Amino acid sequence: MKIKAAIERFTYYNEENGYAVAQLSNGATAVGHLPGVNVGETVKLYGEWTSHPQYGRQFKIEKFETVYPGTITGIQKYLGSGLIKGIGPKMSERIVNKFKDKTLYVIENDVDRVAEVDGIGDKRIEMIRNGWEEQKEVKNIMIFLQSHEISTTFATKIYKTYQHDAIKIVKENPYQLTYDIWGIGFKTADKIAESLGITGDDYRRVRAGIIYGLNESSNNGHVYLPFEKLLKECKRLINVNIDKENTVFRDLIEKEDIIKEDSKIYLPSLYYAEQGVENRIKEHLKGSPDIKKNKIKQLQLNSDFYSEKQLSAIRKSIQEKIIILTGGPGTGKTTTLKGIIDIHQQLNHNIKLCAPTGRAAKRMSEVIGLEAKTIHRLLEYQPRNHTFKYNENNPLEADLLVIDEVSMIDIVLMNSVLKALSNKTILILVGDVDQLPSVGPGSVLRSLINSKQIPVIALQKIFRQAERSKIVTNAHKINKGYFPDIKNRANSDFFFLEEDDPEEVQKLILELVKTRLPDKYNYDPIRDIQVLTPMYRGETGASQLNELLQERLNPNRIELSRGGNKYKIGDKVMQLRNNYDKEIFNGDHGFITNIDEINQLVQIKFDDRIVDFDYPDLGELTLAYAISIHKSQGSEYPCVVMPITTQHYIMLQRNLLYTGITRAEELLIVIGSKKALAIATRNNKVNERYSSLFHND
């Protein structure tokens, strides 16, 4: 059967697959897939009438076609639905009042005439022109993807990447999506490929499987994979056996799409980054700082103020080209760093400070009293060609470069830093080697320490002032494998609330964040309190907690549903990937300040600047009322609430617990079971990463 009607409203709409329950202008209810269809659009629906035991008579959609609305009211609703960037409900009304039933003809064939409407200029007309073309193309892509049972979430991204060639490219090689579009993995591309008849050991499929296996391993921290491990990964991913003689494998090596060194298989970017770090470190260590002896004699250093280890670090900062300063909380890293900077200021040195993340750089500025930048801002990232302004051909002018939170730096970023290092620059690497390693590939800080190539000053003594903090003392206990002191005392900065049931833990978290902690300590529940959790799933995982905390902490009714997520003005959000064009990076926190339905963008404040996100880019964000401990690296929060339960068993590791505890500046509330705490404290097994940096396999 066939019916024709306008979409009045959606009772339900799934952004992921376009499945909808729609109320139609003829009073009927239709159910089925309507990807890319907006309220106000007129559709021809093909299918059959069914009777639902609960909801009654419904039209079950088998396929559909969109039809431009024929009435003035329909046209106005259609244009005002958010379909076209640049036209909202009020603008739609003004345009339709002018052109009546010819409105859509004008936009399609003579859009410049829209200037006849008061208040619409050239910029808005160009936006409408582009928006109209884009929605047509995106709809075609959505319908094409839907015919292959693929989520419509990525349709706009695919269009923006490939423009009018989108469907052609996807048909020719759906695996190209895995290389070009963030968020589309091998399994998604493989579904499209299968529906197009690309299966088994097709060259395109095997090639994509090998590259994807290496990319996945780098996401798990590995710089390379042993050949035998790569074979197992390929078997798991694509169910195809490959060997060294496989045509695809040999072609990848010949074209240097992968690098083979002995039995190690690398992605080229990681191979050259690892080689670069090792070679540049060795080169930079040659010679000593160019500081005249008479200047050194004039330096003033209050020996009584520093421990012997701290004095050693300060002295080595003018004797060595590179030093590593490491230690846990309360061991005096900041004091030592201030001493190093004071000495170099006496020498009138040009000093630069940086850290991997905006939050870490901001904290460094606050505690040191000098400007600190993110590494990307210091090296001046160039979005157009994805390079840094400062590199081996244009080194950074600095006598002293101090990098904090080095445990967070992966092999690629460290290579970029070292490329930009001037031969005269003294490099101070500061970090806590016992924290979790970087999110990206490599264990750079640990590898450099283990190399025995670089002088290392490891601060271990907890200073008297820090000894009064249970956060600090318990962090050190855990780091040594001792069970923490969990007795609750008045005026303490560390509390343990025992609860084994994950549902009860969840209730406690919600109660603490919403009322108890703000009432007792005057904390802002969104800006001052951070929930950190080992996992994303389950009652105490970040996903569920975010939904519940958003519901309780943010009553704002201005919201946007996208890709299964709900975003509201005032929400705390976190970036999930490095976006060099926007200059925001994996783990950066921000707050939603505006949702612009007409221009289809969300504005987010990251530190001191507003960043615009088009609707399709929102997949790069997640709510951040609760985040994983991994994502908290380099950040500190006034108050941390952290569930540790046996539900998290697979993630219970000492360095994870230690990292979580050391994120709290003023107050830490741990909720969970003694058993889970004991498991995490005892488990010192660090997941080994495949890396050859200084032969540290």
Q: Per-residue pLDDT tens for 346-385?
A: 999 999 999 998 888 888 999 999 999 999 999 998 877 8
Could you give the 3-state DSSP secondary structure of residue 552?
helix
Q: Which residues have a Cβ under 8 Å from the Cβ of 519 and sit 6 or more positions away?
A: none
Can you say whether residue 252 is alpha, beta or left, with left for phi > 0 and alpha for psi between -120 and 50 degrees?
alpha
Q: Residue 605: enclosing H or E segment and its boundaries?
A: strand 601-606
Q: 366: which residues sit within 8 A by CB, 6+ positions away? A: none
* Separation between Cα atoms, residue 569 and residue 559, nearest integer Å: 7
Residue 113 to residue 120: CA distance in whole angstroms:
10
- 3-state secondary structure at position 285: coil
Residue for token pair 């400062």: 390
pLDDT of residue 149: 60
**Run of H or E including 414:** helix 411-419
Q: Counting beta carbons within 10 angstroms of the beta carbon of residue 348, is it exposed (0 to 12), middle (13 to 18) or buried (19 or more)?
A: exposed
How many CB atoms are closer than 10 A to CB 430?
A: 26
Q: Which pLDDT belongs to residue 15?
A: 64
Residues of the chain with pLDDT under 70: 15-17, 146-153, 293-295, 297-298, 464-466, 562-564, 696-697
110 CB-near residues (< 8 Å, 6+ apart): none
Beta bridge partners of 626: 531
What are 239-291's pLDDT values in tens digits?
888 777 788 889 999 999 999 998 999 999 999 999 999 999 999 998 888 77
d(CA 670, CA 451): 36
Rounded Cα distance, 274 and 418, in Å? 11
Give SS3 for 397: coil
Q: CB-based contacts of 231: which residues, under 8 Å, 6+ apart?
A: 241, 242, 243
User: Is the overall model pTM greater than 0.85, yes or no?
Assistant: no
Are the CB atoms for 47 and 62 separated by under 8 Å? yes
Please classify residue 46 by burial: count the beta carbons closer than 10 Å to its beta carbon, then call 0-12 exposed, 13-18 middle and 19+ buried. Answer: middle
Question: What 3-state class would DSSP assign to 98?
Answer: helix
What confidence score (pLDDT) does residue 697 get? 44
| Per-residue pLDDT, 152 | 61
